[in-house]
Amino acid sequence: MEAENKDVYGVLAEFRNPKELVDAAESVKKSGYQDFDTYAPFPIHGMEKAMGIKESPLGWIVLGGALIGMVGALTLMVWVMGYEYPMNISGKPFINIPIYIPITFELTVLLSAFAAVFGMIGLNKLPRFHNPLFNVDRFDKASDDGFFVCIEATDSLFAEEKVTKLFQDNGATHIETVYDSE
């Protein structure tokens, strides 16, 4: 299939170093683009601010899982031991909170872990079985020594010529249009 017949996924630009990548991300954000991402072989300090990324809601999702685990464990044990099947064990009270602490702790940790894993999977929109960027030969450098920005065609402001010009103005060393091969 020829490139003209394929759908455009986006425009990928390579930069020389992390500083240029951060500057390019700031420029892309200031230009009003929303659907873009940066790729680098290591975390870059200040990239979240440059891209305008908000704080992740994952912490709140984990807190919700922890609270459900804690309240659920305590509720179940108080209901079972105190009301539904009370057992007199050595004259101890039916509702004895200190003995519930280990199970409550374990269920809190278990449901927090599940919330963290499934929350991360959901927030990252995983599983993603195909990403057209993996078809770009130069993109292999993203895990070694390459610094890339990709503005996706799904952005409402996307126009291939304008994006290419923006990347040229920011000093990109290589600019490539990425086509969706599916």
- Give me the CATH number covering residue 27: 3.30.70
The answer to whether residues 115 and 160 belong to one domain is no
The answer to whether residues 137 and 49 belong to one domain is yes
pLDDT at residue 40 in the model: 97
pLDDT at residue 90 in the model: 85
pLDDT at residue 12 in the model: 97
Exposure class string for 52-65: b at 16+ Cβ within 10 A, else e: eeeeeeeeebbeeb
The answer to whether residues 146 and 115 belong to one domain is no
pLDDT at residue 4 in the model: 52
Overall number of domains in the chain: 2
Domain that holds residue 81: 58-123
- Give the residues of the chain that fall short of pLDDT 50: 1-3
pLDDT at residue 48 in the model: 95
The answer to whether residues 66 and 119 belong to one domain is yes
Angle 147-153-155 (CA atoms, 0-180°, nearest 5)? 95
